[in-house]
Amino acid sequence: MDRSITSVPTTDQLPVVVVGAGPIGLAAAAHLIERGLEPLVLEAGPSAGAAVRDWSHVRLFSPWGEVVDPAAEKLLAPTGWVRPDSPTPSRASTWSA
Ligand SMILES: Cc1cc2nc3c(=O)[nH]c(=O)nc-3n(C[C@H](O)[C@H](O)[C@H](O)COP(=O)(O)OP(=O)(O)OC[C@H]3O[C@@H](n4cnc5c(N)ncnc54)[C@H](O)[C@@H]3O)c2cc1C
């Protein structure tokens, strides 16, 4: 039986889907956009960061630089978003805002 592959689809012919708009999904989407791809981000919750919003009252232990991906930060810059002065997001609600 001939098992040779005659046609291999290239990634630019396929849609890229990111499942979940949590911190990791959003960072993945930002990296895809940086590479010229337009991802479709699917989120089961009512908004991006839905899981983090569930514990929005909790104080974070990580500094901003560790919870905001550089690719996302670059993408947000033209919107006027700048990393807040505070070393750490005070609460999860600040992070998911
Ligand atoms: C109380 C608490 C405090 C924390 N503090 C810190 C901290 O200070 N610093 C730190 O670095 N980390 C902290 N973490 C961990 C951090 O929140 C997680 O590492 C991070 O949220 C993981 O991101 P994620 O995108 O992988 O998952 P999630 O944040 O869980 O996001 C997943 C998203 O995918 C969606 N989803 C799930 N299933 C589907 C589906 N089938 N289809 C579509 N959408 C779907 C969910 O609704 C959700 O929005 C903390 C976690 C908790 C619980």
Please tell me if the CB atom of residue 94 comes closer than 6 angstroms to any atom of ligand 1: no
Is residue 27 lining ligand 1, measured as CB closer than 6 Å? no
Q: Whose CA is nearest to atom 9 of ligand 1?
A: 62
pLDDT score for 89: 73
Residue 1 in this model has a pLDDT that exceeds 60: no
Q: Domain coordinates of the chain in residue numbers?
A: 16-96
| pLDDT tens profile 35-72 | 999 999 999 999 999 999 999 999 988 888 889 999 99
User: Among 58-67, 72-81, 88-97, where is mean pLDDT lowest?
Assistant: 88-97
Residue 72 beta carbon below 6 angstroms from any ligand 1 atom: no
Q: Is 86 in the pocket of ligand 1 (CB under 6 A)?
A: no
Selected residue with higher pLDDT from 40 and 94:
40
Check residue 85 and give its pLDDT. 78
Q: Do residues 16 and 40 make contact, with C-beta atoms less than 8 angstroms apart? A: yes
